[in-house]
Amino acid sequence: MFPRPFDYLAPESLDEVLAALAAEPDDTKVLAGGHSLLPLMKLRLVAPRRLVDLRRLRGTLAYVRPEDGGLAIGALTTYYALETDPLVSARYPVLAETAGAIADLQVRNCGTIGGSLAHADPAGDLPAVVLALDATLEAVSRQGARRLPISEFFVDAYTTALAPGELLTAIHLPAPAPRSGAAYAKFRHPASGYAVVGVAALLALDAAGRVATARVAITGVGEKPYRAQAAEAALTGASPTADTLRAAAAHAVDGVAPLEDLFASAEYRAHLTRVYAERALARALARAQAA
Amino acid sequence: MKLPIQVTVNGVRYTHEVEPRLLLVHYLRDVLGLTGTHIGCDTSQCGACTVLVDGAAVKSCTLLAVQADGASVTTIEGLAQDDRLHPLQEGFWEKHGLQCGFCTPGMIMTACDLLRRYPDPTEEQIRHGLEGVLCRCTGYQNIVAAVQYAAERLRAGAPPAPTR
């Protein structure tokens, strides 16, 4: 299968990339790892007139750095790098584990965290984890740089708050709170490997062992990844017992109309979501109590 | 629009002008005549087209040839040295790691990357690492045995996979 013809550029610098994006913002697609974009182009579901390949920016946009007790991650950092980076495993093991469970070895060699977020596949794994970790994203365009909270980033299926001509360059993760832990539980589609349901949960406990902060982010279920606010509210201030977690997980699909496809009906998907929310919460709690 | 690319494949440097939409797998098979790399599903699932690009296993149906400009590519044809099979090829032979053989080039190239990361892999690491290559014949059992065989041979000092 061949994509439709397109023009191709692989600029040497960020400035040149931004200039290329500004020139024809509506007809240009950014190529990072390419493992979402190229299959869509081969199926001719998308046909950009021009591709701007970021491969020559790996030297500047593929990195993991410590930052104020948290992490700064370059948008071109691959899943494989996240999976194996000692700093990621030390500060946010949930991110390393999730990256290591995406697709397969070959895809993890190519796929990037920035690509995953900017593509905004409703069944992508990293969007849920980054949402639960309350990341701040950095985007640049010829007009300058800006930061936006992850909670404002996902707009709809395959649609983000990035403006035409704007490039996602970095993901900033805050320092993990004391007595906190996070986990991702995924029901993997047996053929595609995508999340039929994926739940990322983060719990931070106060000195008395009660829940100070709860964040539950869900992918695969709605048109975009979402925070299960009713579940979070049920946990906040509570004493985290198995019963509390189960009762909170029961609210994981409140206010959401679950997607339906050949593999999973809306009802089945809703059921899976509650089950996987409980599992993710239980693992996050174990981590928080051990921290 | 055609663009010049320079790619080193199995140690030989090539220069060609290609359309940006030409996939790496078609470049290898149709332009260079290296048909050991197979096209299975053509949808990034089956892994039969896996090759090494700068040492990393990638599905060559999901990479443009222009993306490999300046890179070193190793295909199944580049593994044997002086008529001596690579330990992985030997392992697939000795342990009956193939039946129809269609997935085998992708399986072996993926295993090259796997053994670079884990010279002494557990069975679980082998199975997880080879998830991106589908075999419809063997049930994977003998493939795992073949990779274990190669890992042992490599640890005993057999020449490693080329990473040029």
Q: What is the CATH number of the domain that holds B129?
A: 1.10.150.120
How do A7-9 and A50-53 pair as beta strands?
A: parallel
Residue B73 inside a domain? The answer is: yes
SS3 state of residue B162: coil
| Terminal Cα distance for chain B, rounded | 30
The predicted pLDDT at position A1 comes to 84
Same-domain check for residues B111 and B58: no
Same-domain check for residues B27 and B10: yes
Residue B14 inside a domain? The answer is: yes
**Shortest Cα–Cα distance, B57 to chain A (Å):** 5
Name the nearest CA neighbour of A148 among A178, A116, A118: A118
Cα torsion angle, B151, B157, B162, B164, sign: positive
Residue B145 inside a domain? The answer is: yes
Q: Is the pLDDT of residue A31 over 70?
A: yes
The predicted pLDDT at position B83 comes to 83
Same-domain check for residues B15 and B71: yes
Element (H, E) at A79: helix A79-84
Chain A residue with minimal CA distance to B129?
A105
Same-domain check for residues B73 and B91: no
Residue B65 inside a domain? The answer is: yes
Residue B123 inside a domain? The answer is: yes
The predicted pLDDT at position B161 comes to 56
B1:A4 CB<8 A: no
Same-domain check for residues B34 and B62: yes
Domain with CATH 3.30.465.10 in chain A: 1-45+62-176
Tens of pLDDT, residue by residue over B9-55, are 999 999 999 999 999 999 999 999 999 999 999 999 999 999 999 99
> Do A10 and A51 meet the contact criterion of CB atoms below 8 Å apart?
no
**In B, residues 98-117, which contact A (CB 8 Å cutoff)?**
110, 113-114
Q: Is the pLDDT of residue A119 over 80?
A: yes
Q: Is the pLDDT of residue A194 over 50?
A: yes
- Which of B55, B78, B101 is a domain's end point? B78
B19:A5 CB<8 A: yes
B20:A7 CB<8 A: yes
**Shortest Cα–Cα distance, B85 to chain A (Å):** 24
- Which of B29, B59, B78 is a domain's end point? B78
Across A126-154, average pLDDT: 98
The predicted pLDDT at position B147 comes to 98
Domain count, chain B: 2
d(CA A269, CA A93): 27
Chain B residue with minimal CA distance to A47?
B21
Tens of pLDDT, residue by residue over A148-178, are 999 999 999 999 999 999 999 999 999 999 9
**Phi, then psi, of A12 in degrees rounded to 5:** -85, -20
Residue B16 inside a domain? The answer is: yes
B62:A38 CB<8 A: yes
Tens of pLDDT, residue by residue over A230-278, are 999 999 999 999 999 999 999 999 999 999 999 999 999 999 999 999 9
**Shortest Cα–Cα distance, B132 to chain A (Å):** 5
Residue B126 inside a domain? The answer is: yes
Domain with CATH 3.30.390.50 in chain A: 180-290
Residue type, A26: D
Tens of pLDDT, residue by residue over B108-159, are 999 999 999 999 999 999 999 999 999 999 999 999 999 999 999 999 987 7
Chain A residue with minimal CA distance to B109?
A106
The predicted pLDDT at position B162 comes to 56
The predicted pLDDT at position B52 comes to 98
Which residues of chain B are within 8 Å of residue A38 when distances are taken between CB atoms?
A: 44, 62-64
Tens of pLDDT, residue by residue over B71-109, are 999 999 999 998 899 999 999 999 999 999 999 999 999
Q: What's the predicted TM-score (pTM) here?
A: 0.96
Q: Whole-number mean pLDDT of chain A? A: 97
pLDDT band of residue B164 (cuts 50, 70, 90) is very low
Same-domain check for residues B58 and B94: no
Cα torsion angle, B134, B139, B141, B146, sign: negative
The predicted pLDDT at position B102 comes to 98
**Shortest Cα–Cα distance, B115 to chain A (Å):** 12
d(CA A120, CA A189): 18
Does any CB of chain B come closer than 8 Å to the CB of residue A197? no
CATH superfamily of this structure's domain A180-290: CO dehydrogenase flavoprotein, C-terminal domain (3.30.390.50)
Residue B160 inside a domain? The answer is: no
d(CA B109, CA B36): 11
- The parent domain of residue B38 ranges over 3-78
A126, B105, B107, B108, B111 from B93: Cα distances, Å = 40, 13, 13, 12, 15
Same-domain check for residues B148 and B101: yes
Across A210-219, average pLDDT: 98
Which residues of chain B are within 8 Å of residue A7 when distances are taken between CB atoms?
A: 1, 20
- Domain spanning A1-45+62-176, CATH architecture: 2-Layer Sandwich (3.30)
The predicted pLDDT at position B119 comes to 96
Q: Residue A144: beta bridge partners?
A: A141
B62:A34 CB<8 A: yes
Same-domain check for residues B66 and B104: no
